[in-house]
Amino acid sequence: MNIRFGYRTVDYPSVDIGELPDSSALLGDVAALHARMDEDGYLLLRGLIDRETVLTARRTILEHMRVHEALTPDTPLLDGVMPPGGRSVPMMGNKGIAHHPDVLAVLENPVLFDFFAAYFGEPATTFHYKWLRGVGNEGYTGAHMDTVYMGRGSDRLHTVWIPFGDIPVEQGTLAMCVGSNRLDGFARVRATYGRMDVDRDGIEGWFSKDPMEIVEVFGGHWLTGDFRAGDVMIFGMHTMHASTT
């Protein structure tokens, strides 16, 4: 199929953007999980969180968006249909919808803390601030590393990306630039952009609005896939990622 990726239309799956492999078979083998993370820069763990817990949170979030007139009128609530161009609804932060009990039941699900306790060999914690977003059907997220947004503090910080529903590639899903966390071609990117902070340095967080340009210049390759409620993506601060449209 053809999908939009940044400015370009690409075939999926193809040499331009392939399919993400599932790392769930490695659960329980901490050494193997670390090896996969070191090699690829991410772990896709399908069905890690209870599906019904996620779908309950989805309904709560979409009800919030409907109240704020961010959904297309007279469309099924759980379809989450946004109007052309989308509508901005602030949901990130230290309070509000991001801290609704239904949403926190996903974002702070016990299975996540259990995973990281095993992964780190000690209890883990999470930010009080939550990066909860809804991107319109004509929008996308440009290529970036999360370190520019949240890289202060522990060098063991990881992002946990969770879809609040079933999302096929053509509706806009997460894409990972495999190896960007370690390849020599990205060394200068990690040493410059990867040490910046959007608040401290007053920069735009995105490294590029054209994700394909990144692999053409620096190497690596892009992978994406369909996601289902309950799936979890975990990745480090220096793994380049973006989204399809």
d(CA 43, CA 234): 5
Domains of the chain: 2-63+136-243 (2.60.120.620)
Tokens of 221: 């390759």
pLDDT at 138 over 80: no
Residue with tokens 């926190």: 104
Question: Quick one: pLDDT band at residue 208, thresholds 50, 70, 90?
Answer: very high
Question: Quick one: pLDDT band at residue 151, thresholds 50, 70, 90?
Answer: confident
- Residue 155: per-residue pLDDT: 82
Q: What 8-state DSSP symbol labels residue 75?
A: S
pTM confidence score: 0.94
Residues 6 or more apart in contact with residue 14 via CB below 8 angstroms:
none
Distances (CA, A) of 117 to 112, 123, 234: 9, 5, 14
Q: Where are the beta strands (DSSP E) in the chain?
A: 2-5, 8-11, 17-19, 42-45, 158-161, 174-178, 221-224, 232-236, 241-243
CB 165 within 8 A of CB 209: no
- Residue 152: per-residue pLDDT: 78
